[in-house]
Chain A
Amino acid sequence: MTTLLHEAVAGPVRSYEHFLAQYRRVWRGTIGTSLLNPLLFLAAMGIGLGTLVDASPNAPAGVRYLDFVAPGLLAAAAMQTAATESSFPVMAAMRWSRTYHAMLATPLRIRDVLLGHQLFVATRVLVASAAYLGIVAAFGSVKSPLGLLVVPVAVLLGAAFAGPVMALAATVENGAAFPPMFRFAIMPMFLFSGTFFPVERLPLLAEWVAYATPLWHAVALSRSLTLGAPEVLPALGHVSYLALWAVAGAMLAAWRYRKALGG
């Protein structure tokens, strides 16, 4: 039993070590983005736009707009980090630097390579979201200790995106597929999945599309956590839906990885 567990964990960890070592070379560049982006967004949306929204009789959820938008922005940022880390870096490891091929010449298996890379994406999301949460807290928008739980929610959301994006990266011939993915999938989700305004304001069809996106579930859950008023059943529903995406996405990615690397 312990050897089985060891075998299941050791492989992904060895692959993960590679991505960590590589990250140690470039982490400084990502820190700036991880801190500056939240500051800019919270200042512009929360305080700038928020002043107008709070003066309106239609202010959402009966709270300060800053408190409303901050957890949404955090979740949306987690989605973008996960999508970015799962697109070009996967293509690079598969086709340009051939890192995956180097790994597969050793005892590592395709699933080890994939899980190790997913573990690294999760780490990136974890660090970025923790930094984001610190800044949200500094703006006074974390109303409850439950707010700490938005970090694991963000990691789960990251996993929900990593799988499908990695599957795409393992399928397409070159990086030309990624800009449309960001423009027509990631960006609309960022704008319309409840980050900036409640999705009930959308036309009915668009509202239901928003409910189908993983981002809406992470935003709704995160918001209930930072505001300190989560309800158990909806929260379980959100977590299950995100977990479903994460598991199905990982299986999809595993299938595409085997196609691309196992010939």
Chain B
Amino acid sequence: MIHARGLVKRFGDFTAVNAIDLDVPRGEAFGFLGPNGAGKSSTMRMIGCVSPVTDGTLRVLGLDPATHGPQIRARLGVVPQQDSLDNELTVRENVLIYGRYFGLPRRVLRPKIDELLDFVQLRDRGGDRVEPLSGGMKRRLTIARSLVNDPDLLLLDEPTTGLDPQARHVVWDRLFRLKQRGVTLVLTTHYMDEAEQLCDRLVVMDHGRIVAEGSPRQLIARYSTREVVEVRFEGERPDGVAFDGLADRVEELPDRVLLYTGDGDATAARLAERELPPHSTLVRRSTLEDVFLHLTGRTLVD
């Protein structure tokens, strides 16, 4: 569905996307993970054929965005990061007008709108203006709208950013159903739980480059350990030396120490035997967040 080699996006002197390679097969749920400014959205905009490629090769649905932009976009669904709904219009009108952009006739759209609003649980709000709807409802409407042309490929740029936990779970549930129907999903996110929930495969981007690629499980196996022991001390904290031999990797943070290990309980037990009783010990599974922070660092990018 997507094929990229040496894909580059430059804005003046700034290189937003720096020679990335990608292949997304049909039916896959593929994720771009990365901190703000990593180049995720720029990549998405190139795939969405709204931003021209600076250099390299890009094929979307087998076509070249430079020459077949409208033809490709006719088969894409796009859920942008910022809502672009018509706030003055009703929920139904929003989907209708969007369907008209694709040149779909009104008689085809009418039953289609009912079906889509059912899917995102907005059928009973069909006649309401969009303006007063909640953020979650607006995002669901944006998803309904993006499906009006039965897209082969759905692009979602941070689909749940800014939503409350309930709304996020509803969106995930709907996206999961789309995935089960065989729709190819490509999404960007900086939520690790979102990536773990939805993505078959993902890439981690940083400074315009792909720094890691694989399934969530593969990434954890490759860049982290199976478990992590989080240790907090009260008052005086021992030096790094004191953790020697306890874990595969030790990361000291201002407020706690992270011990990356294959067996968290064993490490915690050995730690308790030492002369430095921690104030609290938490043993947990390694998550994508550990991978993410390991790969992209803990420094804030603003």
Q: Which 8 pairs show the lowest CB-CB distances between chains A and B? A: A98-B84, A106-B101, A102-B84, A105-B78, A107-B70, A107-B74, A25-B88, A101-B84
**A104 → chain B, closest Cβ, in Å?**
5
Cα-based distance from A10 to B70 in the complex (angstroms):
13
**8 A Cβ contacts from B66-114 to A:** 69-71, 73-74, 76, 78, 80, 82-89, 93, 97-98, 100-103
- Considering the complex, give the chain B residue whose CB is closest to the CB of A26: B88
**A101 → chain B, closest Cβ, in Å?**
5
Cα-based distance from A99 to B50 in the complex (angstroms):
14
- Considering the complex, give the chain A residue whose CB is closest to the CB of B88: A25
B contact residues around A104 at 8 Å (CB):
50
Is A99's CB under 8 angstroms from B51's CB? no
CB of B52 within 8 Å of the partner chain: yes
Chain B interface: which of A12-20, A71-79, A138-146, A204-212?
A: A12-20
Cα-based distance from A25 to B87 in the complex (angstroms):
11
9 CB-based A-B contacts, threshold 8 Å: A14-B103, A17-B97, A21-B89, A25-B88, A101-B84, A102-B84, A107-B101, A263-B11, A263-B51
CB of A109 within 8 Å of the partner chain: yes
Cα-based distance from A22 to B100 in the complex (angstroms):
14
CB of B159 within 8 Å of the partner chain: no
Please name 5 further chain A to chain B contacts, defined as beta carbons within 8 Å, in addition to the given A17-B100, A22-B89, A98-B84, sorted by A numbering: A97-B87, A106-B149, A107-B73, A262-B50, A262-B51
Cα-based distance from A25 to B130 in the complex (angstroms):
13
- Considering the complex, give the chain B residue whose CB is closest to the CB of A10: B103
CB of B208 within 8 Å of the partner chain: no
CB of A108 within 8 Å of the partner chain: yes
Cα-based distance from A25 to B94 in the complex (angstroms):
13
Cα-based distance from A173 to B218 in the complex (angstroms):
45
Cα-based distance from A18 to B76 in the complex (angstroms):
20
Is A108's CB under 8 angstroms from B101's CB? yes
Out of B52, B97, B103, name the residue touching A107 (CB < 8 Å). Answer: B103
CB of B216 within 8 Å of the partner chain: no
- Considering the complex, give the chain B residue whose CB is closest to the CB of A105: B78
**A251 → chain B, closest Cβ, in Å?**
20
Interface residues, chain A, with chain B CB atoms under 8 Å away: 10, 14-15, 17-18, 21-22, 25-26, 97-99, 101-109, 261-263
**B99 → chain A, closest Cβ, in Å?**
9
- If over half of B's interface residues share one DSSP class (helix, strand or loop), that class is named, otherwise mixed; here it is loop
CB of B48 within 8 Å of the partner chain: yes
**A106 → chain B, closest Cβ, in Å?**
4
B contact residues around A97 at 8 Å (CB):
84-87
What total of chain B residues lie within 8 Å of the partner, measured CB to CB? 29
Is A262's CB under 8 angstroms from B52's CB? yes
A contact residues around B48 at 8 Å (CB):
105
Q: A107-B71, A109-B69 are in contact. Are A22 and B101 (CB under 8 A)?
A: no
**B168 → chain A, closest Cβ, in Å?**
22
Out of B50, B52, B97, B103, name the residue touching A105 (CB < 8 Å). Answer: B50
A contact residues around B83 at 8 Å (CB):
98
Is A105's CB under 8 angstroms from B88's CB? no
A contact residues around B70 at 8 Å (CB):
107-109
**A21 → chain B, closest Cβ, in Å?**
5
A contact residues around B73 at 8 Å (CB):
105-107
| Most interface-central of B71, B87, B100 (chain A CB within 10 A) | B100
| Most interface-central of A18, A102, A109 (chain B CB within 10 A) | A102
Cα-based distance from A22 to B11 in the complex (angstroms):
34
A contact residues around B84 at 8 Å (CB):
97-99, 101-102
**B44 → chain A, closest Cβ, in Å?**
11
**B54 → chain A, closest Cβ, in Å?**
11
B contact residues around A17 at 8 Å (CB):
97, 100
Cα-based distance from A225 to B80 in the complex (angstroms):
51
Cα-based distance from A108 to B103 in the complex (angstroms):
10
B contact residues around A261 at 8 Å (CB):
50
**A36 → chain B, closest Cβ, in Å?**
23
Interface digits, B25-60 against A, CB 8 Å rule (1 contact, 0 not)? 000000000000000000000001011100000000
- Considering the complex, give the chain B residue whose CB is closest to the CB of A108: B101
Q: A106-B98, A107-B71, A107-B74 are in contact. Are A99 and B103 (CB under 8 A)?
A: no
Is A99's CB under 8 angstroms from B86's CB? yes
B contact residues around A263 at 8 Å (CB):
11, 51
| Most interface-central of A21, A103, A108, A262 (chain B CB within 10 A) | A21
**A240 → chain B, closest Cβ, in Å?**
34
Is A106's CB under 8 angstroms from B86's CB? no
